[in-house]
Amino acid sequence: MNVLPVARLDLKRLFVRPFAWALGAIALGLLAWLFLLDLNAFLAAQPKLAAAPEANLGYTDLVAAPHLLTFVQLSLLLAPLITMHAIAGERRAHTLPLLFAAGLSPARIVLEKFLASLVFLWLLLILAALIPLSLAHATSPDWGQFCAALLGSALCVAALSAIGIACSAFVSHPALAAMAALLIALVLGILDAGSRMTGAHAGWLDYLALSTHITPFMHGLVRSVDVIYFLLLIVLPLSFAARRLAAEKVRG
């Protein structure tokens, strides 16, 4: 029995495409450079930190957690580029009817496409997380805070991947899917920018903003409201994508 055939095929496509490898290499190279800059700033700030122990800021607060947050910010671009071919590419190549003819349900196709992109992005996240962990033996990281930041990053990346899959399901060209997913991600990313600048609360705008829910994870807080937010941001786009494919299957 062939388990997860669509996901396995998509993963093979990702791992043999120079574009995906080049994208990952550029992202990790940029992350490594920014990590060195943050580490240099952290070492330069050691005298001030030692003089103000009440601030209680360490390697995790100033280097490791911001490093993971940088990966999340890069994922606003990475996720749309990785997912843009997921369904729009199949539609453009006229291979989507073959998936339907193979007896795969629209929901299964969407889910397996999502899993394939998520495995690739989470692999990049793991490699990114290994960069600050390489100095764990020489520092005193807050493992609880780091694990919370890693969990938040994984959930956020999954949500961005789900949005990318949904956009790929609704358009006929991969480039349009990437643009739509990037636009949605950017809107979610800056939705509460005005309220943050003025120091006021914007109610539901604050709740819908990504920064409202990713920031507590970076500080070591795992709140149910934030986990639910990311789960909804995963389930809803995938549900819309499955319904779109179901309607397309009916139309033939």
**Mean pLDDT in runs of 10 for the chain (252 residues)?**
79 88 94 94 81 71 93 95 92 87 90 95 96 88 94 97 96 93 92 61 76 93 95 96 91 72
How much helix, strand and coil, in percent to the nearest 5, is found in the chain? 85, 0, 15
pLDDT of 252 reads 65
Q: Where are the domains of the chain?
A: 5-46+57-251
Kind plus residue range of the DSSP H or E element containing 5: helix 5-16
Exposure string over 89-112, b if 16+ CB within 10 A, otherwise e: bbbeeeebeebbeeebebebbbbb
pLDDT at position 42, please?
Answer: 87
How far are the Cα atoms of 136, 196, 205 from residue 199, in angstroms, in the given order? 36, 5, 14
Q: What is the pLDDT of residue 201?
A: 60
Are 82 and 121 spatial neighbours (Cβ–Cβ below 8 Å)?
yes
Q: What is the DSSP string of 187-207?
A: HHHHTTHHHHHHT---THHHH
Rounded CA separation 120/11 (Å)? 7
Burial of 62 (0-12, 13-18, 19+ CB in 10 A): middle
| Per-residue pLDDT at 193 | 66
Long-range contacts of 89-97 (CB under 8 A, 24+ apart): 89/168, 89/174, 91/172, 92/172, 92/173, 92/174, 96/245, 96/248, 97/252
CA separation for the pair 208, 190 (Å, rounded): 10
Determine the pLDDT at residue 2: 64
